[in-house]
Amino acid sequence: MKNIKAIIFDAYGTLFDVNSAAEKCKAKIGINKWDIFSNYWRTTQLEYTWLRTLMNRHEDFWKITEDSLDKSMAVFDIDPLMRSELLDLYKVLSTFPEVNDALNKLKEKNYKLAILSNGTPALLNELVKSNNLDNIFDDIFSIEEVKVYKPHSNVYNIPVKKYKIQKEEAAYLSANTWDVSAGGNYGFNPVWVNRKNSIFDKLDYVPKYQVENLGKLLDII
């Protein structure tokens, strides 16, 4: 990968473990269902972002996170008293184990580092701060600038417009295959973070680069 001027990261599921909130409550939710519940919450959350974009009925990511949690708790018959605890934990999701070290090493190489996320600026800033990443990122870009969610192309244009770079001069990292496809079709140099040895979706794009975790990015960039 050559002539990269900026490395842009998806946040949820790529830097931050979206299952970590429910995992911290697994004894209360149920040892045998906390992960199924968490995956359902995440899937519903994403579906709501796509549906609201298609319907032109925008609500910010925190509202969508609340609404998708409410549905998920009803489906899995979770004690309503847990709602506040789960939402508070979602604001401070944990990073994946290798993330902090990998980001610090990339920072030492003087790359421009940024987040591009569905999250609101307030949510993203709290995530970064709670994981001691305050001094890592040059910018934190939110879809709230354009009021549509990924994978709309207007989202991926945000950092290109800010940095005044060519699309191919940005490496874009995501663990979400649909996000990688959208970034690649937009013109980024995408890297799929495939921690679970998954199969890539059939969305008219196959990424040239794939890593099993963020630490492996240092081998290709």
Residue 154's pLDDT band (cuts 50, 70, 90): very high
pLDDT digits (tens, 9 = 90+) for 169-186: 999 999 999 999 999 999
10, 70, 79, 101: the active-site residue = 10
Over residues 8-63, the pLDDT tens digits come to 999 999 999 999 999 999 999 999 999 999 999 999 999 999 999 999 999 999 99
From residue 209, alpha-carbon distances to 28, 34, 45, 94, 217 in Å are 40, 32, 27, 25, 9
Q: pLDDT grade, residue 7 (50/70/90)?
A: very high
The reply to whether 219 belongs to the active site is no
pLDDT at 200 > cutoff 90: yes
Q: 47 CB contacts (<8 Å, ≥6 apart)?
A: 68
Express each pLDDT in 53-109 by its tens digit.
Answer: 999 999 999 999 999 999 999 999 999 999 999 999 999 999 999 999 999 999 999
Residue 198 has pLDDT above 90, yes or no: yes
Geometric angle at alpha carbon 193, from 217 and 36, rounded to 5°: 150
Domains of the chain, first to last? 6-17+95-219 (3.40.50.1000), 20-90 (1.10.150.240)
177 near 198, Cβ under 8 Å? yes
**What pLDDT, on the 0 to 100 scale, is given for residue 2?**
86
Q: Give the predicted TM-score (pTM) of the model.
A: 0.96
Q: Beta-strand (E) ranges in 155-207?
A: 170-174, 189-193
Token couple for 194: 């495939």
